[in-house]
Amino acid sequence: MATETQSQPADWPGRYFHIDQVLNTPGPRTDESFLAGDGVKDFLRNKSKILVIGAGGLGCEILANLALTGFKDIHVIDMDTIDISNLNRQFLFRPKDVGKSKAIVAAEFIMKRVPGVKVTPYFGKIQDKDDAYYMQFNLVICGLDSVEARRWMNATLVNLVDPEEPESLKPLIDGGTEGFKGQARVILPTITSCYECSLDMLNKQTAFPICTIANTPRLPEHCIEWASVLEWPRVRGDLKLDTDDPEHIGWLYKIALARANEFKIEGVTWSLTQGVVKNIIPAIASTNAVIAAACCNEAFKIATSSAAYLNNYFMLIGTDGVYSYTFEHEKRDDCPVCGGEALEMTLKPTTTVEELIDILVEKQDIQIKKPSLSTPTKQIYFQAPPQLEEATRPNLEKKVSDLVPPGGEVTVTATTLPFSLSLRISYSE
């Protein structure tokens, strides 16, 4: 990372020379609203405010790129602490930082190395902040490793949009990596396709149907899920599972191994247990760097109007050489976040409520963990609170057709998502 000597002021002449070459003169693809010169430089460096969500492998690269590009008012949110396994690719951290907040340490590092840049950290969850907090930003960049967190952030920004208030539209730039593959995309809430629209492009999630893990486990992953989803709350009560706590992982491993031995299943190991409950994805530093650069390039273009921004999806595939592909992902009319239509679902007349829940968990374009179901007139099944779960549990064995008429709508909710999904049910053999 470039740095300045102690004798150089925060804005020493030539610091942003490479950036000024772009901002001083319009280019062939410059937006009509582009105001070359001091005006756009002043906005970028003194008036724009950007939020980075995640200070891990992607987030560290994004924070450094933004600071060196000229963004001076940066906020960062991360709920994690630094682990020794992070140090090989999350280059803002050092061994002395292990156990500390990623957001706080990253902010301090950037401000020390790039004087004049203010990075405001928040050590906590994105769900802790209200709409007023997110309204203050011009842009949001996600460098997350959680699908659920991305879905929450996406839905929150879509819900912020007020057609009468243009400033309520906050562009979302999302980056993600998986090994040598990565993606960057630009989401204009309510205008372009949103994150929810493209769930079917994700790799199949690792959640398994409750009936399978409870009754007929076939894979070592089933035994681990059984230990974490069913046995942990039954035995440990209200104690929250901490996937970073070796004692908690050890307990799950012991219980899952016993379950596997009971059903003569091989393959339950400590590393697999950790991988299943933390949904660990291999991280490659070079992929993080490329995707972070792509995200920050889009942030720069949107903030300055100096060039046309991405429309709207960029993919990087580096498994066999280096290949990239850009395309426009289209909106889904039945998207529960940015669409307006109910999702059509055809069931067999014999499908039970429990089987419908399994379908919702496994269905690639829905992917809702622990869904609760209701109609405008009745509660079908609720995952929580315990009293309501117990009261609606008998419905699990009932046929959906006995509870919902043909053409009827079922509302699906989950505590992890700030939106509901509407299903229009039909029946066919």
Question: Which is nearest to 408 in space by CA: 420, 428, 424?
Answer: 424
Question: Which is nearest to 367 in space by CA: 323, 412, 405, 333?
Answer: 412
Question: Which is nearest to 184 in space by CA: 292, 304, 63?
Answer: 292
Angle at the Cα of 119 from the Cα atoms of 114 and 120, rounded to 5 degrees: 160
**Helix residue ranges, H only, 267-420:** 270-278, 285-304, 353-362, 386-392, 400-403
Query: How distant, in Å, are the alpha carbons of 65, 95, 104 from that of 418?
Result: 31, 37, 27
User: Is residue 296 flagged as an active site residue?
Assistant: no
- Select which of 197, 211, 296, 335 is catalytic: 211
- How far is residue 339's CA from residue 351's CA, in Å, rounded to a whole number? 27
The 10 Å CB-count burial string (b at 16+, else e) for 56-90 is bbbbbbbbbbbbbbbbbbbbbbbbbbbeeebeebb
- How far is residue 270's CA from residue 272's CA, in Å, rounded to a whole number? 6
Residue type, 64: A
Q: Which residue has the tokens 């039970």?
A: 352
- Reported as type and span, the H/E element at residue 234 is helix 232-236
Q: Which residues are catalytic?
A: 211
